[in-house]
Amino acid sequence: MLKNMDRQKATLIGIGLIVLGVVIALDLWALLPVLVLGTLGGYLYRQRRIEGRIGAAVQSGLWLIGLAFLFLIDFVLPGLLILAGTSLVVRGREPEIDRRVTALLARVGVQLSTTQYTSNALAVPVQPAPQAAAPQPQAEVKQDEPANTGETVRL
């Protein structure tokens, strides 16, 4: 089974099993939601970033890693309000935040992939737009003629 998996996946599964074993051995069940949310947040950030969806990547990372942190410090209910407010403030600034996160991770030696996700199955053929017909010249309105406004003229 492991022969068919690439090395990175096997490493990640191995680390996950080690962490689960430590959680069971030391009875650290309270840390399990923190680990799951943090890992999922990092994974979604990375995947959406590869797809070129920077806004979704930053929001996913913010919410899931933020929730993991809130569970860790046991500050969930008021923290949700702070997290929601932070999410609203961040809207529209995701590319700048992504650059800062990427620079911070590069300082600690983590390189994020910048490869754009492409799939031929999702490609939509684009047909050229039809040429618009040239506008037809309109007949000139003589100034002597009254405009047809629908008014009643009494004689």
Mean pLDDT value across residues 48-55: 92
pLDDT of residue 112: 74
What is the pLDDT, as a whole number, of residue 124? 44
Nearest-angstrom CA–CA distance, 127 and 154 = 58
Percent share of the chain, pLDDT over 70: 70
Main-chain phi, psi angles of 141, to 5 degrees: -95, 125
Does this model's pTM top 0.75? Answer: no
The set of residues, in sequence order, having a beta carbon less than 8 Å from that of 67 and lying 6+ positions away, is 37, 41, 83
pLDDT exceeds 50 at position 115: yes
- Assign 75 to helix, strand or coil: coil
Give the pLDDT confidence score for residue 110 in this predicted structure.
78
Q: pLDDT tier at 33 (50, 70, 90 boundaries)?
A: confident
Q: What is the DSSP letter of 145?
A: S
- Mean pLDDT for the stretch of residues 129-153: 59
The stretches of the chain forming alpha helices (DSSP H) are: 7-26, 32-50, 54-72, 76-90, 94-107
